[in-house]
């Protein structure tokens, strides 16, 4: 089991009391699985993504990721987990505009204190794996949206993470580019990478092997019903 969430709740304080965003979430994901989590705006899916990605901690419940109890980790340890265990892909790409593709992809390795030579070699290898061997030294504004997302995927994969966590990965792309990104996710999953994808689009979720649905902070393995 790569990921195990048990009765995860997340509350946020208000002027008068608190509001519960996640309500007793239970989610198990094995290594090598390809999972989609669907939900409309305001359903809690972004909050859940932050929990899965160790960007936030739950109010209650237990989260085990790659054998580690996340609740017992301090901020530095959580940062290390994010940098080594999880590869993040976002709708907005978040590439640095002044850096070329190689340097953008190499950034996580810089934070991991990898030597410059190895950073460059691994970044080039990652970019080649997503079909951008002819765009290595292009800056983001010289790339299409689909190519920028491929750079973002290469950046996510350069640390060889156990888990690829994608938040609306095709939201800023046209249909053709989106399908190409989905094909790339399938290839990465076929090679053993665990993929969890957050989306509001059924056609995108259908690429996954398993789909969960979240509404009003409750996670379900079917539309309209709570997970057993």
Contact (CB, 8 A) for 106 and 122: yes
Cα gap 44→216, rounded to integer Å: 7
pLDDT at 91: 85
pLDDT at 228: 38
pLDDT at 221: 86
Tokens matching residue 202: 């059924």
Residuewise pLDDT in 10s, the chain (228 residues):
999 999 999 999 988 889 999 999 999 999 999 999 999 888 999 999 999 999 999 999 999 999 999 988 899 999 989 988 999 998 889 999 999 999 999 999 998 889 999 999 999 999 999 999 999 999 999 999 999 999 999 999 999 999 999 999 988 888 999 999 999 999 999 999 999 999 988 999 999 999 999 999 999 987 655 543
Closest by CA to 162, choosing from 86, 67, 89, 108, is: 86
Q: Edge-to-edge strand order for the sheet containing 163-167?
A: 86-90, 163-167, 194-199, 34-38, 210-215, 218-220
pTM of the predicted model, to two decimals?
A: 0.90
Name the burial class of residue 18, with classes exposed (0-12), middle (13-18) and buried (19+) by CB atoms within 10 angstroms of its CB: exposed
DSSP the chain: --EEEEEEEEEEE-SSSEEEEEEEEEEEE-TT-EEEEE--TTSSHHHHHHHHTTSS--SEEEEEETTEEGGG--HHHHHHHHHHTEEEEETT----TTS-HHHHHHHHHHHTT--HHHHHHHHHHHHHHTT-TT-TT--GGGS-HHHHHHHHHHHHHTT--SEEEEESTTTTS-HHHHHHHHHHHHHHHHTT-EEEEEES-HHHHTTSSEEEEEETTEEESBTTB---
Q: Edge-to-edge strand order for the sheet containing 3-13?
A: 18-29, 3-13, 60-65, 68-69
Tokens matching residue 137: 């030294």
pLDDT at 88: 94
Tokens matching residue 118: 């190895």
Cα gap 167→177, rounded to integer Å: 16
């Amino acid at each position: 089991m790569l990921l195990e969430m048990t009765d995860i709740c997340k509350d946020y304080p208000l002027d008068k009391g608190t509001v519960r965003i996640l309500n007793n979430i239970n989610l198990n994901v094995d290594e090598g699985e390809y999972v989609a989590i669907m939900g409309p705006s305001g359903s809690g899916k972004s909050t859940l993504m932050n929990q899965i990605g160790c960007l936030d901690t739950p109010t209650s419940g237990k989260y085990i990721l790659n054998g580690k109890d996340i609740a017992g980790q301090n901020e530095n340890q959580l940062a290390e987990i994010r940098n080594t265990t999880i590869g993040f892909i976002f709708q907005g790409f978040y590439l640095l505009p002044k850096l070329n593709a190689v340097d953008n992809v190499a950034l996580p390795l810089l934070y991991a204190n990898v030597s410059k030579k190895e950073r460059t070699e691994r970044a080039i290898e990652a970019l080649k794996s997503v079909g951008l061997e002819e765009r290595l030294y292009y800056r983001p504004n010289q790339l299409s949206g689909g190519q920028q997302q491929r750079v973002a995927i290469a950046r996510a994969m350069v640390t060889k993470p156990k888990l690829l966590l994608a938040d609306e990965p095709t939201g800023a792309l046209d249909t053709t580019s989106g399908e190409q990104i989905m094909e790339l996710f399938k290839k990465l999953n076929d090679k053993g990478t665990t993929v969890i994808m957050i989306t509001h689009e059924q056609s995108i979720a259908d690429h996954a092997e398993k789909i969960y649905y979240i509404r009003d902070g409750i996670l379900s393995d079917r539309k309209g019903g709570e997970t057993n």
